[in-house]
């Protein structure tokens, strides 16, 4: 049964969670002019890698990337999958810890940080325990409930914009390429499309629909960056950790019965992120279950969630989160570029071997 709708909701929601939380702050911090060029470079790379990834997966119908790598031998499987495991572990820790701190800062100041992290992990783990079908059903439900809220908040975010802040229009020296925050911004891309290679034996989807979703998300990247810039200006916006979230606290609508629109935006982003965390837990459990098939994958989900929680407890402040993001840069680009390219090259090699055998 074709479940392309489930797939595009999963991809779209997880991307929106990262776009409006991490991405805007990283891009604004990376350059003081010509932000559009920094955004386009990332989008082109992401689009090319998603296309290449699905092209490579197309050579292996009904196989996931674990089977593709293990088909090369145990040594090759360890070489390709071990960095992936580390990346997913670190990404989950960063995501849980960062969103927990944002929740504490904005509307749960008196709640212990460990309690918020535990709640996020428990909910995400529960979703992951029920398998990939449960994750996708949850994604559809969240899309129905929260996509209208996200679209509404985006529409009202233009309330105080001044389009003159678009200038200067060009960073001729491309200085953002040397700034760490710009390389951090690729965390919005890396890992989001990875699930496409894990679900292939379980869920049927059309690659063309995924590419349409990638294109449909392009305006949101620009909105997340330029609306805070048009509202605050570069000098002020660059001082915020979460520019778009801060922007929403400046919006005032007399006819709206709720005073804090920021709370609704953040709750939407947190639910989208919990969906991402649950998918990461499921992906990690699938890799470990393939290594130890006698152990149920649900046990791995519980153990991984516990390890993630313990890892989050060791991070004491936002500077340590930023350092962890920086240390994760190599693995991030391995996932963003290395895995799609390797799957594509392995697929070409496999097709040539089949042709040679047929000849």
Domain locations in the chain? Answer: 4-358
141, 117 contact by CB (below 8 A): no
Residue 199 has pLDDT above 90, yes or no: no
Range name among 101-105, 147-151, 256-260, 337-341 with the lowest pLDDT average: 256-260
| pLDDT band (50, 70, 90) for residue 257 | low
Range name among 123-132, 237-246, 258-267 with the lowest pLDDT average: 258-267
Distance CA 343, CA 332 (A): 16
Average pLDDT score over residue span 206-227? 90
| pLDDT band (50, 70, 90) for residue 358 | low
| pLDDT band (50, 70, 90) for residue 110 | confident
Q: Give Cβ neighbours of residue 21 (< 8 Å, ≥ 6 apart).
A: 98, 99, 102, 242, 244, 245, 269, 273
Residue 99 has pLDDT above 80, yes or no: yes
Residue 49 has pLDDT above 90, yes or no: yes
Answer with the residue of higher pLDDT: 84 or 173: 84
The pLDDT value given to residue 260:
65
User: Nearest to residue 308, comparing CAs of 142, 114, 131?
Assistant: 114
Burial class, 27, CB count within 10 angstroms (exposed 0-12 / middle 13-18 / buried 19+): buried
Distance CA 245, CA 328 (A): 25
CATH number of 4-358: 1.20.1740.10
Average pLDDT score over residue span 282-295? 87
Average pLDDT score over residue span 77-86? 89
Specify the DSSP class assigned to residue 194: G
The pLDDT value given to residue 293:
82
305, 121 contact by CB (below 8 A): yes
Phi-psi region for residue 34, left (φ > 0), alpha (ψ -120 to 50) or beta? left
User: Nearest to residue 196, comparing CAs of 210, 183, 217?
Assistant: 210
Residue 258 has pLDDT above 80, yes or no: no
The pLDDT value given to residue 359:
53
The pLDDT value given to residue 340:
92
The pLDDT value given to residue 161:
82
Residue 48 has pLDDT above 90, yes or no: yes
The pLDDT value given to residue 282:
92
Residue 165 has pLDDT above 80, yes or no: no
Mean pLDDT taken over the chain: 85
Q: How many CB atoms lie within 10 A of CB 119?
A: 15
Query: What are the Cα distances from residue 218, in Å, to 15, 140, 265, 281, 307?
Result: 11, 21, 19, 27, 35
The pLDDT value given to residue 357:
63
């Amino acid at each position: 049964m074709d479940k392309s709708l489930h797939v595009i909701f999963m991809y779209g929601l997880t991307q929106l969670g990262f776009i409006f939380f991490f991405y805007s702050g990283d891009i604004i911090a990376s350059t003081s002019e010509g932000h559009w060029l920094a955004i386009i470079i990332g989008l082109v790379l992401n689009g090319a890698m998603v296309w290449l990834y699905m092209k490579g997966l197309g050579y292996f119908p009904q196989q996931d990337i674990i089977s593709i790598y293990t088909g090369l031998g145990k040594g090759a499987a360890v070489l390709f999958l071990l960095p992936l495991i580390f990346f997913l572990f670190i990404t989950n820790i960063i995501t849980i810890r960062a969103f927990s701190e944002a929740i504490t800062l904005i509307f749960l100041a008196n709640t212990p940080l460990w309690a918020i992290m535990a709640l996020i992990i428990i909910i995400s783990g529960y979703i992951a325990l029920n398998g990939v079908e449960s994750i996708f059903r949850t994604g559809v439900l969240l899309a129905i409930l929260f996509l209208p809220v996200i679209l509404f908040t985006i529409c009202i975010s233009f309330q105080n914009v001044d389009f003159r802040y678009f200038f200067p229009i060009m960073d001729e020296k491309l200085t953002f390429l040397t700034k760490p925050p710009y390389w951090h911004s690729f965390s919005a891309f890396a890992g989001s499309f990875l699930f496409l290679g894990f679900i292939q034996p379980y869920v049927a989807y059309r690659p063309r629909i995924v590419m349409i979703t990638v294109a449909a998300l392009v305006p949101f990247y620009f909105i997340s960056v330029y609306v805070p810039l048009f509202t605050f200006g570069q000098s002020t916006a660059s001082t915020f950790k979460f520019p778009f979230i801060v922007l929403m606290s400046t919006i005032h609508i007399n006819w709206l019965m709720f005073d804090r629109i920021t709370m609704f935006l953040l709750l939407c982003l947190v639910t989208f992120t919990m969906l991402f965390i649950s998918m990461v837990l499921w992906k990690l459990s699938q890799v470990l279950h393939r290594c130890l098939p006698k152990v149920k994958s649900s046990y791995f989900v519980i153990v991984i969630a516990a390890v993630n929680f313990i890892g989050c407890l060791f991070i004491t402040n936002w500077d340590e989160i930023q350092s962890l993001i920086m240390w994760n840069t190599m693995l991030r680009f391995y996932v963003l570029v290395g895995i799609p390219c390797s799957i594509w090259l392995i697929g070409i090699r496999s097709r040539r071997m089949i042709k040679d055998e047929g000849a």
